[in-house]
Structure 1
Amino acid sequence: MTSIDLNADLGEGFGAWRLGDDDALLDVVTSANVACGFHAGDPATMHRVCRTAADKNVAVGAQVGYRDLAGFGRRRIDYARTELRDDILYQIGALAAFCRAAGNHVRYLKPHGALYNTAAVDPLQAGAVVDAVLAWDSALPVLCQPGSVLAVAAAEAGLTVVGEGFADRGYLPDGRLVPRSAPDALVHEPADVVDRAVRMAVSSEVVAADGTVVALPVRSICVHGDTPGAVELARAVRAGLDSHLSVRAFA
């Protein structure tokens, strides 16, 4: 692989509250996963982030989640497949309006939080994500965990699947993320985060929490924007990746 994408979750403030430094991160990343109003985000925030991303030539993706502002989309919700499909389709459409106002368009979709984790293992919710993308635009790539139920379902439906790795998250031996409630969920040491990002990008592998080396074919690496020192960490990851590969948006 000669290039890698660097993405971050942005636009996750709500009303008077801002979460993370969106503007600073948009100087570092090549793709922005923008909250669409269900787990976080509001119209003014979506508009601002889409406009700034367009100005800085950063690709915008719809970060769709459960209808769960109070829980930040990190609590699993059971849905009927058609209801979840329509909630996701609604969010894509909302973000697309603000992208259009900024002279841009939605370039990919990424599930957020509990939806990301559930769709990785649950055929019904993975199917709902696929149904929503097919209803919107079958050319829209899906950014998700490599080898997950969602990745397989999307590929079988003819969608473009982009594998994603998390430089600052712990992994289980089966390639799934360590649950956030577990002690090894986050990687805190900046040097370790950079090393993991480079290893994912160059060697397509990651060291799991138990020391197992896990194959992880990724085209995009995520850095979280809501952790302490997120901007400095993102800059360090970008510098590490720049020294090995071309860093550019996949979409």
Structure 2
Amino acid sequence: MTTPPPHTEIDGAPATDPGLLAALLTGYGHFTAMQVRDGRTKGLALHLDRLDRSTRELFGTELDGKRVRELVAGALANAGRRDASVRVYVYPGVRTVVTVADPAPDGPGAPQRLTTVDYWRPAPHIKHLGGFGQRYHGEAARRAGYDEALLTSPYGEISEGAVTNIAFWDGTSVIWPSAPCLAGITMALLEPRLNSTRRPVTLADLPGFRAAFVTNSRTIAPVTAIDEVTFPVDEELMGRVFAAYGAVEGDEIRP
């Protein structure tokens, strides 16, 4: 027998779908975030694979990619948008929620200053909900005058930003930390298109790098400082990075 959802109200009014609200309130689930331009997004197959893989791991069932595309295309049409920031959330019962918001600015992101914190996300390979720890450290970093928190182990091994991946430039190769992290879609698109490698990176290694940058679904931005270690903005490197990303064709969302 299925237990009915509890009675739920929002601002004093009954929720129109108590079952969905009950799923949302668990704080358990996962999502993906994408930028849509003219009804297309880069790395659509990677987004759909991420959603299906995480749904199988968290809920023991598949998530049909065609259905996800239909939901995203429908949400964009209902919002009257061809350009947008879109998120797809999956909750218990494989309830799927799509949000459509203003698109992120195109082009290079503003240079960022990072501060390190001793924290690694649980199950970092999943873009999961309940990211209190990373949000807490990210907000603390901004209050302290930084742009983002950089997550490290107690022994100083670097994994990722609170909401970004980070890469370093040694003058020859782009190096992505090999510590457990979320392999973001932007990172996944750039990695094979640059002279990239993955290896452990520690705080002690930072002075030996010539440049650094961060990536996520909203931005690619140079890093100018990590705590007391400073980096110049390598315009040639960033030009190569943006050219590599710009060369990725967007995939039509509508199935």
Category of TM-score, reference length = shorter chain? under 0.3
Which is helix-richer, 1 or 2? Answer: 1
Looking at CA atoms only, which structure, 1 or 2, has the larger radius of gyration? 2
Which is strand-richer, 1 or 2? Answer: 2
